[in-house]
């Protein structure tokens, strides 16, 4: 194996690890918002690392350029999607788990 392949392997293993963390987090964390942390952060980094590993193996060229685009779009869209879910949860009045003061809960009572 060349050093580059080692690097790629490390990246892909790292990606897999964070993918695993995302899954465990999604299962273990309480409530919608906490779970979204796992779904947005770990999942993004997991995919980004795996894609970067692929780009390293492919070397400089059209294919890795496409993977580069994929990286940028992943970094842009994952947090946006998480935000969309969180926001709709908030609009539906979903309460965060744990001992948490959520401003939107009081607001709704105030408005009613």
**Binding site residues, another protein, CB under 8 A:** 17-18, 21, 24-25, 28-31, 33-34, 36-38, 40-42, 44-45, 62, 65-66, 69, 75-76, 78-80, 82-83, 86-87, 89-90, 96-98, 100-104
The residue among 6 and 69 lying less far from another protein, judged by its C-beta, is 69
- Residue pair 36/82 in contact by the 8 Å Cβ criterion: yes
Rounded Cα–Cα distance for residues 70 and 64 (Å): 9
In the complex, the smallest distance separating the C-beta of residue 10 from another protein, rounded to whole angstroms, is 14
What tokens were used for 23?
A: 């899954």
Rounded Cα–Cα distance for residues 53 and 14 (Å): 9
The residue among 29 and 57 lying less far from another protein, judged by its C-beta, is 29
Rounded Cα–Cα distance for residues 112 and 100 (Å): 21
In the complex, the smallest distance separating the C-beta of residue 55 from another protein, rounded to whole angstroms, is 15
């Amino acid at each position: 194996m060349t050093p580059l392949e080692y690097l790629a392997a490390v990246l892909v293993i790292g990606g897999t690890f964070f993918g695993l963390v995302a899954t465990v987090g999604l299962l273990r964390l309480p409530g919608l918002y906490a779970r979204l942390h796992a779904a947005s952060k770990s999942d993004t980094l997991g995919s980004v690392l795996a894609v970067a590993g692929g780009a390293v193996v492919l070397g400089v060229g059209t294919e890795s350029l496409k993977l580069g685009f994929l990286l940028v779009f992943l970094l842009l869209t994952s947090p946006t999607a998480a935000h969309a879910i969180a926001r709709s949860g908030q609009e539906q009045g979903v309460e965060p788990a744990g001992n948490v003061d959520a401003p939107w809960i009081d607001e709704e009572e105030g408005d009613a």
